[in-house]
Amino acid sequence: MEPFDSIVVWMSEFLGGHLYEGVFLAALIETIIPPIPTLAVFPTAGFLASQEGFSIWAVIPMILLGALGATIGTTGIYLIALKLGRTILLRYLRFVKVNESKLERVEIWFEKYGDKAVFLGRMVPVMREMISVPAGLLKMKIPKFVLYTFAGSLIWSTGTILAGYYFGNSLDWII
């Protein structure tokens, strides 16, 4: 079994008994070790919550923990990009097939869209994990970065967890 597969299996098992902690850890780990798929974990957590009879009010802390975990994890990547700088970061990014020209394109795009890029980028798969790199390299103000990251992550967390929750509730209605 490959390392990625073992992480996903562990996360799934952990989620079964620890919904709140599982959502937080999945969001935190996704930003540090992509691609832990919150697009799979969050709806599953919502589904499990519905099957265990959680009220919608009990799901709200799960949503907030998902946004918080993503914010903490991606802020770590932001700080690494901010402190290491372009030259050193490119040395490590080559392992995930990011070269100078790809990074330049992302930076140009980021300069064009700035704050909106962070906010909207937190709601787009793959971009979710990567948006903190140009934000750090281009020295976006930390409070602004954290605010836009949390807001975008909150929308992502809400949509994906509630999708699973309401799907689970609709199954109860159908069956």
Q: What is the pLDDT of residues 110-127, one digit of tens each?
A: 888 878 889 988 888 777
35: preceding bond cis by omega (within 30 degrees): yes
* Cα–Cα distance for residue pair 23/27, rounded to 1 Å: 6
21: pLDDT confidence band, cut at 50, 70 and 90? confident
* Cα–Cα distance for residue pair 169/165, rounded to 1 Å: 6
pLDDT at 19: 84
43: closest CA among 128, 166, 164? 164
**Burial track 39-66 (b if 16+ CB lie within 10 A, e otherwise):** ebbbbbbbbbbbeeebeeeebeebbbbb
9: pLDDT confidence band, cut at 50, 70 and 90? low
Query: Average pLDDT in the 148-174 region?
Result: 87
Query: Average pLDDT in the 140-156 region?
Result: 95
Q: What does the longest C-alpha to C-alpha distance in the chain come to?
A: 57
Token reading at 55: 């009220």
141: pLDDT confidence band, cut at 50, 70 and 90? very high
* Cα–Cα distance for residue pair 65/61, rounded to 1 Å: 6
175: pLDDT confidence band, cut at 50, 70 and 90? low
Residue 87: pLDDT over 60: yes
pLDDT, greater one: 167 or 150: 150
